[in-house]
Every structure is written in structure tokens, then in C-alpha cells.
Structure 1
Amino acid sequence: MVTSIARKAVLCAALGLVGLATAASAATLKIGTEGGYPPWSMVDAQGKVTGFDADVGHAVCKKLDMKCRFVVQAFDSLIPSLQADRFDLVISGMSVTAERAKVIAFSIPYATEDSAFVLPANSPLLKATDQKALLAGLAGKTVGVQSGTTQGAFLQKHAPELKLKSYETQDQMQMDLSAGRLDATFSEVTPQSQFLDTSGKGKFAMADAVIKSSADPEILGQGIGAGINKNNTQLKAKVDKALCELIQDGTIKQSSQKWFGGVDLSNYAACK
């Protein structure tokens, strides 16, 4: 009897250790992000990824009962790295476009975002009445965009007369604008607004003519989504379900309002 009890105790202890090991080795979801696109994705002094997309990533991981691990690298290298299986998802303010969808899959677009030009505060183009007038006024001028973005592709198609200069990060682009090496920058509204609230305050302003995604949905996309390897259909289904739940329960709204000054970028239409 003593021997039997002892054996049971040893067996229970062993099973307990196995349970602890399983819990400790919970599956990890590797997420590629840029880390230099505030307030969507930033890296703080301790190397921690923060921002709206970091919140979205952590919330998805929680829904899937997985651990998050962020992999930070240049935006234009995210899709090739996803194709090479260096991570499972891309969550980095990435617009869902037909061109990108040729090589990767996308989740439902969990957020929507427009694009805008930032120019010197005394520029007469700030009051351009529409997109056509604004682009015509920029002909021959140097405009900064971030490399690999839909904004760059949009200007190549719709404003070939302007001089386009690409940058790896938003910070580099905005530094050149501040130094007078650019006449304007073109990016999504939220990072442009953050620049105008910080280092660009008082010196630069956003043009009244905001460029809607509907201006060219083929290039500017259908909203912001998570990039997924085309072969990983099971993960796509899980991420879509998680994102819809996060939109419907207000998690996306809460994070959006926190990072974007009270603005809700949640794409409610994606889950109807």
C-alpha cells in the first residue's frame, strides 16, 4: 500500500511538471512590425514595441491564447520576410491592396485611414480646394514618402510631375522636411497629425484636401489589415474571428482613441 501511494505521488508530481512545462511553452505568435511609424508602431527606449498596432497584436494574441513576440524591421522588408516565414503576421499599419494581395493574404481590415500632405505653414497649397488642384500645385516640387507605402505608389500614378523622395522611416522623412530638403510629405493622417502636434507644431500644417482611400482603392487599399502567409489559412480564420470580436467588444475603439487623440478608426463594416 505504501509503495502504491508513493508511486501515485510520483506520478502526480510528474504530471504536474508536464502541465507546468506545457503552460510555460505556450505557442508564440511572431508579429512583424516596423517600429518607426508613430502612433501605429514604435519602439521605446527599452526596446518594447508600443503603439496602436502593438495593442492590436497583444489583443489578438490574448484571444488566441498565445504569446506575442514582435520582430522589428524596415517596412518594405516586411512582406518578403512574411513570405519567408520569419514571422506569422504583419501588423504595421499596412493597407490591404490588390497588389499586395497577389503575394500575401490579409485579415479583415480592422481599421480605416485617409492620407494627407503636410507643407510649410505659409504654403498657399494648404488651402487647395481639391485633390486635383493640390497635385497640380505640387508639380516640380519634392515630396517625401515612406518606402514601400501605398502613398508612394499613388503619387507615382497620379502626380508623375512631382519629384518623389523615399525614406525608410517617417522620422527620417520629417527630419528632411524640417531641414527644408522637402517641399511636402505625404502619409496617413494619424502619423502626420502626431508630427504636427510635436516637432512640426507651428512650422507646418496639413492640407485641407485630404486624400480618401476611395480616390484610388486599387492603390490606397480597403483599410488596414494584418498580413498573413497565403499558405496559413487556419491562422487567417482565427485572426479574422479575433479581430471581429475585438471590434465588436470595443477593444479596437478604446486603443484607437488612446493613440489617435480620441479618433475611432475601427472598421465596423468589416464584420457585418
Structure 2
Amino acid sequence: MTIAKTVGLAIIGTALAVGGASAQQKTIKIATEGAYAPWNFTGAGGKLEGFDVDIANELCNRMKAKCEIVAQDWDGIIPALTAKKYDAIVAGMSITDERKKTINFSLPYASGPNGFLVAKSSPLAKMPGTGQTFNLATQKEAAEKAIEAVKPLLKGKSIGVQGSTIHANFADKYYKGAAEIREYKTTEAHDLDLAAGRIDAVLADSTALIGTLEKPEFSKDYVLVGPAMSGGLLGEGVGIGLRKEDTELKKAFDDAIQAAVQDGTVKKLSEKWFKIDISPKG
């Protein structure tokens, strides 16, 4: 979508007067977590970097909008959006029915399954289903059969997940009782406990785990295992979180995302940060 470079002050004033954010306002404030590498993280000098940051800047350029990107802790990221502390969330957030009760989402700008990160020396390194991918929405029976095959190996083990995420919900539904589920404030926190041997596995988005495996302390001795799951309670892909009333801003983001997917820009950025293509398909 192309939005005119020159926008009348009267139009801007009207857009702001109704209380909703729009792509025509002077600055669109965007929140990201800043602690979910390689999706988003705080780099040298406190600068926000990552796939989400590149995506946000790309979409803002396409919308001819000035954007400001700020860091926000994950557990307060939706409440702060609805409180109008910023206008959008670009933070690797999966589109789920539960979240849609509170906020709206753009079209997906990425899609990726989850997986387990474990030590190569662990019995969990031989987890069944490794290398297989399932969609809980379209392959429910096969997906749940693969999940059941994993459970015996998890008995007596501990799994780290980031709280208030689809992965925490997934672990609670499918693995609670088979393993101890421990929730953490950030992915960095559960990665540290895995490296220290305080938990046996981490369950997270496979793209985030790929980023973890690039760190020196994980690259040699850890491995990504288990059946890769998507769909169902894991959501419809990753989208931009928006307030329900901001329909104009949603349309602007939707059009920009669609164009960036179609011309291969999202694919290029995902390969830059994840070494794989996680752009939406279909």
C-alpha cells in the first residue's frame, strides 16, 4: 500500500481526534520486547535489533510513516498497548484466539513451529519425531500422536518455557503431568538454567532456539529436537498487535505486509536472521 508522502494537517488532526492511531499520524510508536533474539534483542549501546526491528522499519518505510521503536517487558506488552502507551506490538507475537479477545492483529508476517532444545548428552536428544513437522489445526490426530510418543521420555524431566506465551500454554496442555513445567520471565532466563543444568529442556519457537544455538555456550553441546508443532493453540502465525479500534492502522500494516511478503522482502529478512524462510505461505 502506498500512502501519500504529503498528508494535510487537517487529516492528521481528524485521525488523532477520534482517539485511534493511524498510519497518517506524525509518529507511530511500536513496542518490541528486546529480549527474544534473534526476533528482537538489545544490542551494543542499547540499540534494539533483530528480525522484528527490521520488519517494523521496513513496514514503516512502505507506509511512508515515521516510527519510534521502544522496549517493553513481555508480561506487560498487551496491557500497555490497550493503555495507549504505544500504537503497535512487533515482538514475535503469535496470533491466537485468546489474544484476539483483547487486541486485534495484522496479517501474519511470519510463521514458524516450536521445538525442544536439549543437551546432546541428554536422553532427550533421542526424542522421537525429530525432523517431522505437524499442524495441530490440519493434522490434529497425527500431531497429537507425535506428542504422545514424546511423553514417556519426558517423565521426571523439567521443561523451561517463557511465561504468557503459546509455548507455555502448549506445555501446560500436553506435557503437564508428564514433566515439570517451569515458567520464566524471558527466554534468556530459561536458556541460562538449561546451560546450568537446572532444567532438562527448553520448549520455544524453533526460530528463537536457532538463535540460541548460535551462541558459543550452546553451539557445540546442544541440539534442537522433537516434532515441530504449529497451528491450533499455537496460533495462526506471527502478527502485529493492534488496538481493536485502530482499523485504519491495521489496514496500512496489512497492505505493507502483503507487499513485503509478495516481493520477497520478508523471506530475505527471515533468512538474514534465522537462516531459514519463515515468511507466511498461502
**Is the structural similarity TM-score above 0.5?**
yes
Query: C-alpha displacement at 1:144, in angstroms?
Result: 0.7
* Contact in 2 for aligned 1:125/1:134 (Cα 8 Å): no
Q: CA RMSD in A?
A: 1.9
Cα offsets for 1:160-216 (capped at 9, x unmatched): 112111112111111111111111100011111222222212222111x233213xx
Aligned to 1:248: 262
Give the SS at the match of 1:69. strand
Gaps of 5+ in 1: 1-18
Is 1:114 equivalent to 2:130 in the alignment?
A: no
Structure 1 position 26, deviation (Å): 7.2
Give the helix-richer structure, 1 or 2.
Answer: 1
Contact 1:37 1:169 survives alignment (8 Å):
yes
Q: For 1:231, what is the secondary structure of its paired residue?
A: coil
1:204 aligns with 2:203: no
Aligned residues: 243
Q: Which residue of 2 aligns with 1:229?
A: 243
Distance 1:135 1:82 in 2: 37
Quote the Cα distance in structure 2 between the aligned partners of 1:136 and 1:87.
45
Structure 1 CA distance for aligned equivalents of residues 51 and 73 of structure 2: 18
What is the CA-CA distance between 1:105 and the residue it aligns to?
A: 0.3
Q: Normalization by structure 2: what TM-score?
A: 0.82
Which of the two has higher C-alpha Rg? 1
> How many Å separate the matches in 1 of 2:104 and 2:44?
33
* Aligned residue in 2 for 1:8: none
TM-score norm. by structure 1 comes to 0.85
Structure 2 unaligned blocks of 5 or more: 1-8, 13-23, 130-146
Deviation at 1:87, TM superposition (A): 0.8
Q: 2:151 aligns with which of 135, 154, 175?
A: 135
- Please tell me whether residue 84 in structure 1 is matched to residue 95 in structure 2: no
The equivalent residue for 2:18 is: none
Q: 2:234 aligns with which of 199, 220, 238?
A: 220
Q: For the residues of structure 2 that align with 1:62 and 1:211, how far apart are their CA atoms?
A: 34
Name the CA distance, whole Å, in 2 between partners of 1:182 and 1:160. Answer: 15
Q: How does 1:23-172 map to 2 (within 5 A)?
A: 27-130=26-129, 131-161=147-177, 162-172=179-189
Q: Distance in 1 between matches of 2:169 and 2:157?
A: 17
The whole-number CA distance in structure 2 between the counterparts of 1:28 and 1:106 is 20
Taking a change above 3 Å as real, the CA distance of residues 85 and 136 of structure 1, as seen in their structure-2 partners, is farther
**Percent identical across equivalent pairs?**
37
Cα distance between partner residues in 2 of 1:136 and 1:28 = 52
Q: Secondary structure at the match of 1:117?
A: strand
Matched position secondary structure for 1:87: coil
Local SS of the residue matching 1:46: helix
Q: How far is the alpha carbon of 1:254 from its aligned partner?
A: 1.1
